[in-house]
Amino acid sequence: MSEPQETPRDVREEMRLLLDEGDPGAVLRRLRQDLGAFGTAELAGVLARLAEDAGFDDLAQSAGRVAADPADPRARYEFGYACVERGAAFAAVPVLRELQAEAPASPAVLRELASALEDEGRHAEAADALQHALERGEAPLEDWPDRYLLGYNALLAGRVDLAAEVAGALAPPPDDAWLPARERLAGMVRRALAVRENGGLDLRDLRGWHFALTGGLLLELSPFGYDEGMNGRYAMVSDDYDACGRALRLLIRVMDATGHRPGSVGLLPDRSSRALGLAAAGLLGVAAEPFTGPRPGQLVVAYDLGDSEHGLLEALRERAPGQVLFERSTCWTEPPAVPADVTGWLVQTVLAPWAENMRFHPETGAERIPADDRPAEALAEEIAAAAAAPGGAPESGAGEDGEPPFDPEERVLAFAAAVRGLWLTGSRPPMPSSGPVPGNSFT
């Protein structure tokens, strides 16, 4: 991308203003939006200034060298590498694509390009780049990491057969450091094949792909915007006590149906998780105790794992026998470092029932609802009461005038029964990608 497309004057001026205002997030959003309007030197100049302000010396130095000499291959490679390391992989892609076209025999450039595309969720492009290089014999690809990256990105792009073929042909890794990656890919492939054998796994099967990639069961699909690009995910939602109660009730049904009734509930320390955990313990009739580490047969309850302490998440990465990790709300645009075994719903932004909120009244307009500051024990009583109310809370997406619910509970139970042999197995490695099912996110 050494020569930019014609850059409108207002785009350049806006970029200068944003840089002068010192808003790096706005600069990156605008740069991503108009990436094709900037040549290599101009792009590197913007990143150099951002990196200097942020104290990212590696990126600032490599970007400065590219801005001074955009033809320098070493500088461009180091710039692409630094962009990936510093969370700006989108800026690395065009520079590394250009470099890879000039040096197709370089495995280092190809690997960095694949990594940049993977970080951007462009898994099909990453798989294509690796597969084409393999088929044409342009670069000497190795099983670790090259063919592994091909299999991993192929699966995240929805290409199950290619992923299974690659994973099955991988040689043993050269050292133990690659063993978790081998087990991770093998586990994802096994789950994907199992879901497909049971009739699922098209590119709108959010529940099936969520299980294949994370090993977790998704309790609820959103009916809102389902055919307009959401495919079962929520965007921004206000949670309530009835919905929390419904999620716990369905969680208990799933555990009963799969033979995983817990002996206790582990309470995470944040107030939201503690409230939900106490409610779960009351509904199950088991003891609740602070979570201190792996305990066999325990249900660990989180409202949002993104709010959990890092040390506790590390303690949850390796599974204790029979342990179940439940997360009420899982952020799909910024997934937690440890995926839950059961998640209530996939959201981008959620307001807990006890958080400050706004509601619209037809006569008085918008009005503020203050936060519910009661202790977790009082919140738990409301959740448990909602779950235990006669008839239970209504199912999500229930239709009016007798129409069936959008996503009946029996469908979740049938799915859990079909995959129970592969559920609660292995560790809980992070899954940073949302996978091949598309979804509309909002910034």
Q: What percent of the chain has a predicted confidence (pLDDT) above 90?
A: 82
Same fold, 9-195 and 206-422: no
Q: What is the pLDDT of residues 325-342, one digit of tens each?
A: 999 999 999 999 999 999
Per-residue confidence (pLDDT) for residue 6, from 0 to 100: 47
CATH of the structural domain 206-422, one choice from 2.60.40, 1.10.3470, 3.40.50, 3.40.720: 3.40.50
Q: For residue 139, what pLDDT band results from cuts at 50, 70 and 90?
A: confident
Examine the pLDDT at 153 and tell me if it is beyond 70: yes
Strand 217-218 and strand 342-347: pairing?
Answer: parallel
Examine the pLDDT at 398 and tell me if it is beyond 70: no
Domain boundaries, the chain: 9-195, 206-422
Q: What is the pLDDT of residues 213-255, one digit of tens each?
A: 999 999 999 999 999 999 999 999 999 999 999 999 999 999 9
Say yes or no: domain 9-195 is CATH 1.10.357.10. no
Question: Which residue in the block uniquely carries the two structure tokens 């309850």?
Answer: 301
Question: What is the spatial distance between Cα 118 and Cα 123, in angstroms, rounded to a whole number?
Answer: 5
For residue 219, give the amino acid letter. L
What mean pLDDT comes out for the span 164-178? Answer: 96
Q: What is the pLDDT of residues 282-307, one digit of tens each?
A: 999 999 999 999 999 999 999 999 98
Neighbours of 275 (CB within 10 A): 28
Per-residue confidence (pLDDT) for residue 397, from 0 to 100: 56
Per-residue confidence (pLDDT) for residue 404, from 0 to 100: 73
Examine the pLDDT at 68 and tell me if it is beyond 90: yes
Q: Considering the entire predicted model, what is its pTM?
A: 0.93
What mean pLDDT comes out for the span 413-434? Answer: 96
Mean pLDDT of the chain: 92
Write the secondary structure of the chain as one string of H (helix), E (strand) and C (coil): CCCCCCCCHHHHHHHHHHHHHCCHHHHHHHHHHCHHHCCHHHHHHHHHHHHHHHCCHHHHHHHHHHHHCCCCHHHHHHHHHHHHHCCCHHHHHHHHHHHHHHCCCCHHHHHHHHHHHHHCCCHHHHHHHHHHHHHHCCCCCCHHHHHHHHHHHHHHCCCHHHHHHHHHHCCCCCCHHHHHHHHHHHHHHHHHHHHHHCCCCCCCCHHHHHHHHHCCEECCCCCCCHHHCCCCCCCEEECCHHHHHHHHHHHHHHHHHCCCCCCEEEECCCHHHHHHHHHHHHHHCCEEEECCCCCCCEEEEECCHHHCCHHHHHHHHCCCCCCEEEEEEEECCCCCCCCCCEEEEEECEEECCCCCEEEEECCCEEEEECCCCCCHHHHHHHHHHHHHCCCCCCCCCCCCCCCCCCCCHHHHHHHHHHHHHHCCCCCCCCCCCCCCCCCCCCC
